[in-house]
Each structure stands twice: as C-alpha cells, then as structure tokens.
Structure 1
Amino acid sequence: MTISAKTNSMEKLKRPVYVKAGTDDFFKKLRAEVNETVLQNSSLYRLNIIKSVGLVVLYFLFYSCILLFGNSTPLLFLFYILCGVTMIMLFINAFHDAAHGALFKKSIYNERFMYILELFGGNHWLWTRRHINLHHAYPNVPDWDVDIKQSDIIRIFPNSPLFNYHKYQHIYMWMIYPLYSLNWIYIRDFKDFFGTKNNYVKKVVEKIPTIEVYKLFAAKIVNMFYMLFLPMLVLNQPWYIVLGGWFAMHLCGSALGVVALVSTHVDEDAHFPGTDENGNLSATWAMHQMIVTKDFSTNSKLANFLYGGFTHHVAHHLFPGVAHTYYPHITPIIMRYAEEYDLPYTSYPFYHAVRSHFRMLKDKGVQENIMMMGEI
C-alpha cells in the first residue's frame, strides 16, 4: 500500500460522527409534522417540475436568440447574459433538486435530467458526490466541506493556513467571485478528477470510473463548441465580440449565483465545528444543520423563484430530498421548533448576508482571535 493510500484510509477512519439523537429529538417531531401536513400537497411537486423544465426551455430559447439576433452586438450581449442568468437558475433550482433526488419521484428520471448538466460543461457524477457526500454530510466541518474549502486564495476555515495576501481577501474576492462558473467548469472539475493535493472528493470516492473522465472532456468540448465557437462561425461578428458576450454570460451568472453561495453558511457569525481526536462532533445531525445554516430573503417571492432551495436553506439541509417549492411552507414550522427547543435560526435580507460575508473575510484575513474559533 502506498503512503497516499494509507493516508486516505486513515482519513476515512476519522470521518466525522454526529451525536446520536435522543428520544426527545426535535427533528423526529418536526419531520413527522412536515410529512403529515406540508408534503401532502402534490401541487407543489408538480410546480417544481414545470419550473425546472421551463427553465431548460428558456435557456435554449435564449441561446437560439444568440444565433438568430447576434449580429446586433447589444442583442448578442443581452441574450448571452440571459443565458448566464438562466444557467445559474438551472444549477441552483433544477439540477440542485435533481441531485438530491427531489425533482422527480423516480430516481432514474432525476439521473437522466442531470445529464442535461453536461451540456453546461459540468459533470453531474462528480458534482453529486462533491455536494452530497461532503457538503451536505458535513457542512462547515473543517477539512470536509468541499463547498467552502476550495482554494488557498480565500481563507474561511479557522484552521486554514493564513497567508499575507489574505488581509486583502475582502477586497480582491469582489473580482474573483464573478469568475465562479468559469473556475467550476474549467478548473475545479479537473482538480477534483486529477488533483492529488488536498483532494476532498477522493476522501469519499474509492475510484473514479473511467467513463466519467471521458464524459468530463466531452462535456467541456461540447459546451465550448455550441456556446462559443458556433456563434463565432455563424455570426457576422468579430471573434472577440462573441468572446466578450460569452465572458459576460459567465460574469453575470456567477454574480447572481454567488449571492446564494455566500449567504447560507459563511457570514461573520458562522460556526465551524471541529471533531475530537476520534472524529466525533458535538451535536446531532439535525442540530448541526441548524447551527451552521442560515436563510436569506425568505419573504421575497422573487428571491425564492431565483434561488430555489437556497433562500430557505435550513429547510433544505433538514429535508434535502424534498423539492424546494415546499420549503416556504416548511420554514415556519422550523422556526416554531427552533423557538421551542431554543435552537439557532437566522434569516436576513440578502444584502445583509453578503455584507456580513465580506466582513467575515476581512476578519479571517488576519491572525485568528482564539475566542472566535466558532467551536461549540
């Protein structure tokens, strides 16, 4: 056995373990009430399917408009930007639900729907394991939550190395966050497939199927061809104008998506519960979700439509296998149980959440205060 294999085996032996729920666990009662009341409404399930399929149609409608009307530079940029916005909405609404098996009742339909993700350059096999087996299993847990720990460019976890440039991260991340989708599709996927340093995915995956490597490259090539090279070929536009429209698509889409990413787990009051030497956490699974997850703009119908399961993110983490269209009806029940059991629950406007996130970046960019480690 190689050294790296031994290291991976040791890490898997120390996988975080939650406290076992007791007889008076709030989540048992909460789940029973949600099942008996909210989840009986099948119209919310159908609404989610209509919304998801509608977004797919809308995306390719906007793409068709790039080819039909793209000889006009303003219209070229407009429809590229609309493609970017719709792309992100598909990610955080439809694909997100499908990855959790929450879009369709039959798992095979969710799996087939996820293949549409490949047209956007992603790899649904990788994303599902990265998101569910790491982020949802251990949200905000240092060295396990891959959605938070992605690069040394940004420091969020208290146990992450502190570099001199981190003192400016609350400034330069304004310029890096709009590149999020480009990083995801063209850098991060390759790092997770082939990287050896701090490869979080390989903590929970024994072996990446060879077919997924071929799919990885095929998805990138197909996406680049129809989104970038085909418009360059058919439109009467200089190549750099088309490239500019494609770049604007990713900038605007990422700016929209980052609001959801920074508003739900990583504000200035965020907790990052660590494990003891045996890998034990200090809370039950459900209590942990309440501690590390926050909602934003829950009363905004526009925000709920744009961000799906992210505005009511506590409900999503407690009921990941439930369609996001149910969450506005589940959240009031969660709030009632939080008050009854004296559990943390936070919901704030998105602008407050974003502001709080960048204050957190400023705090984490300097030497850590031992009294603010976030351990509970």
Structure 2
Amino acid sequence: MATLPKFAPPRSFHAELKRRTALYFQTAGKAQTGNGQLFGKAALLLAGLVGLYVHLIFFTPPVGWAVLECVAMGTVAACIGFNVMHDGAHGSFSKHPWLNRFAAFTLNVMGGSSFMWDAKHNQVHHMYTNIEGVDDDLDIQPWMRMTPDQKRYRAHRFQHLYFWALYCLLYISWIFVTDYQKYFTGKIGPVPLKKMTWGDQLVFWGFKALNLVLFVALPIYEVGVAGWALGFLVSAGVTGFVLSIVFQLAHTVEHAAFPVPQAATGKLEDEWAIHQIKTTANFATDNRIISWLVGGLNFQVEHHLFPKISHVHYPGLSKVIKATCQEFGVPYNEYPKMWYAVVSHVAFLRQMGRA
C-alpha cells in the first residue's frame, strides 16, 4: 500500500471551530441529527420514487409521458441519495442507529453498495479530499483530467464540452462496474478495503441481485426490452448527471486547492480542518429550493468539517464557521449562485484540458 499523506498537527483553529459549533447547538437546544422536517422529506421522496416506479412498470403511460416520468424518477433517485442515503451513511440522519442504517441502505436498493460507499466516501474522500492518487473521486482517467498532476491526453482539450454526456454515465458505471472493481481488487485507490464479513458479502450480492430484478428483469418482462432500455437510460442518465454535477461543484472548481504532500516526508502543509476548507466550495447557499433538493450539499464546507451533523443544520451553522474563518484568515470558498459554480467548473475543466 502506498504511504498515505500526513496532515500538520491540529492548531487552535480546529479546536475553536468545534467549541463554537458545540456552543451553537447548546444555545439553540437542538440535536445534531435530523429532525421532523428531514423525516417528512425522506418519506415524500421515497413515496415519490415508489409511485413513479409502479406507474411506469405496471400502468405504462404513453411514450412521451413515460419519458417525463423517467426524468422525474431519475431526479428523485438522486435527491434520495443526497437527502436520505448520504445523511444515513454519515450517521446524522437520526439519533437511532437502526434508522441511519435503513437510510444508508436505500443505496443498496438502488444498485450501489453502502459498504463500498462508506469506504470510498466516508473514509477516503472525507479524509484526503482533493489529494491526487488517494481521493478516488478524482479518478475519472483516462476520460477526464481532474487535477494538475494527472496525465493529460489530447482529448482532454474538449473535456469542458463533453463532460455533460460523460456525467450521465456515472450511475450506470457505479452500479455495474466500479463497485465490482473495488470488490475484486479489495482497494479504493491505494487504500485497502476492510475485510468483508459474511453479512457484508450477503448484503453486497443480495442487493445487487435485487436491483437487477427490480430495474432490469421486471421492467423487461412488463414493457419489453426497447421500453426498458429507453426508460432505464433516461432515468439512470438523469440520476448520474445530477449526482455528478452536485459533487463536482463542491471540489473541482477554480478556487479549490489540490494540495500535494512533500515527496520525501508525505506531509501536508495544513492541518486537516484548514485542508478541508481550502479544497471545498459552497454554492447557492441562499437558495432554499436548491438546498432542499441537494440535501444541503451546497453547504459543502460545513459538511466536510462536520459530516456527522445533519444537513438540516448547515444554514445556521455556516454563519458560525464563516465568521471563524474570517477571524483566523482562512479562505472560505463560496459561489453565490449555482450557475456561477457551474461556470467555474467548466473553466476549471478547460484549464485542466489545456494546461
């Protein structure tokens, strides 16, 4: 295994962030986990997904209407990932562990693996954000060049044009390719997976089989191969694009840093908390609709600093964190509108393709 980077020792900044955050919740008298609004949103999204699925499969509407429903189903599936699965996987959806596990398991039903997600996202991405060769989220090679240290190919000159189509393939690649790559190689990039128990194995293969039944075999049986192919490509493409663009706007924009450890020692310049802030960006934090849909992931700085706090608290918490950053002179990356962040992401891809 490659030697993993080492952060600088924690200083007063991180300690002050934690102190002020604890004071915020103590003063407000709130739990750090989800609340009734989150549970209601989760129920609405899950009911929406089931309703759309049942109507498409068993009450198949005309083609034009069916395509619109597939777009809606793909969007709802991504929203479940942002709002339900994501908080559940971090243990912040509820104070009850069983409810967090249930929320995280929605990923398994939709074809992913909560085991692989925990390793890839919670353990690797959240620790080694934007570090080339470690953060697996940056590895879209050879199709795209996402950091200054990745190899550049001629086609990358056009990646700021073709990424729209490529992002649509994320979900399909995730459930049919990359989960299995991680399973059989036993690694997330250079980081070994923890040993899977028999229960983990059963969940992995059992839910992969269940997903094939629910989203491949049964639809083909009910609507035929052509109808299934059209519906699956539309819904999965929408899910993949929505997931991709939201996650990419958080880390691969012009103002995000890509720290490089010292070659001899593997040490990084900053402590972990400052590293997280420098490598992360917020967007459209004043837009309540976007915040509702993306599960607070537009408050990515707050999420990376405190992933075990539910996203429903990020709007209030962001004021505390922003003020602390200003006092300590730590840059706080933020785009006031989502389209500003999209433009910055496109500019970043263009820069990486031509550098």
TM-score (norm 1): 0.87
Q: Give 2:183's match in structure 1, choosing from 193, 218, 222.
A: 193
SS in structure 2 at match of 1:228? helix
Match for 2:311: what amino acid?
H
Q: 1:77 to 1:224 in 2, by over 3 A?
A: farther
- Pairing of 1:80-229 with structure 2 (within 5 A): 80-195=70-185, 199-200=187-188, 203-209=191-197, 212-229=200-217
Do 1:294 and 1:346's aligned partners in 2 also have CA atoms closer than 8 Å? yes
In structure 2, the partner of 1:372 is none
> 1:41 and 1:92 mapped to 2: Cα distance?
20
Do 1:186 and 1:220's aligned partners in 2 also have CA atoms closer than 8 Å? no
Match for 2:214: what amino acid?
Y
Match for 1:92: what amino acid?
F
SS in structure 2 at match of 1:112? helix
Aligned length: 352
Moved more, 349-358 or 321-330: 349-358
The Cα of 1:75 is off from its aligned counterpart by 2.9
Unaligned runs of at least 5 residues, structure 2: none
In structure 2, the partner of 1:272 is 258
Deviations for 1:310-349, whole angstroms, at most 9, x for unmatched residues? 1111111111001111111111111211222111112211
1:35 is the counterpart of 2:25: yes
> 1:244 and 1:141 mapped to 2: Cα distance?
38
The Cα of 1:161 is off from its aligned counterpart by 1.6
Match for 1:112: what amino acid?
F
* Percentage of pairs with the same residue: 24
Q: Give 2:333's match in structure 1, choosing from 336, 339, 346.
A: 346
1:336 is the counterpart of 2:317: no
1:245 is the counterpart of 2:231: yes
> 1:34 and 1:186 mapped to 2: Cα distance?
43
In structure 1, the partner of 2:48 is 58
The Cα of 1:186 is off from its aligned counterpart by 1.0
Deviations for 1:156-189, whole angstroms, at most 9, x for unmatched residues? 1222122222222222212211111111111111
Q: 1:132 to 1:28 in 2, by over 3 A?
A: same
Match for 1:22: what amino acid?
R
Q: 1:127 to 1:43 in 2, by over 3 A?
A: closer
The Cα of 1:355 is off from its aligned counterpart by 1.5
> 1:223 and 1:206 mapped to 2: Cα distance?
24
Do 2:7 and 2:271's aligned partners in 1 also have CA atoms closer than 8 Å? yes
SS in structure 1 at match of 2:206? helix
Moved more, 41-50 or 333-342: 41-50
Match for 2:77: what amino acid?
M
Q: 1:23 to 1:344 in 2, by over 3 A?
A: closer
Do 1:192 and 1:200's aligned partners in 2 also have CA atoms closer than 8 Å? yes
Deviations for 1:257-285, whole angstroms, at most 9, x for unmatched residues? 22211211111222111112222211111
Do 1:129 and 1:201's aligned partners in 2 also have CA atoms closer than 8 Å? no
Moved more, 225-234 or 287-296: 225-234
SS in structure 2 at match of 1:259? helix
> 2:45 and 2:145 mapped to 1: Cα distance?
34
> 2:179 and 2:284 mapped to 1: Cα distance?
31
> 1:280 and 1:297 mapped to 2: Cα distance?
34
Moved more, 253-262 or 267-276: 253-262
Q: 1:121 to 1:41 in 2, by over 3 A?
A: closer
> 1:343 and 1:221 mapped to 2: Cα distance?
47
Match for 1:260: what amino acid?
V
TM-score (norm 2): 0.91
Q: 1:23 to 1:228 in 2, by over 3 A?
A: closer
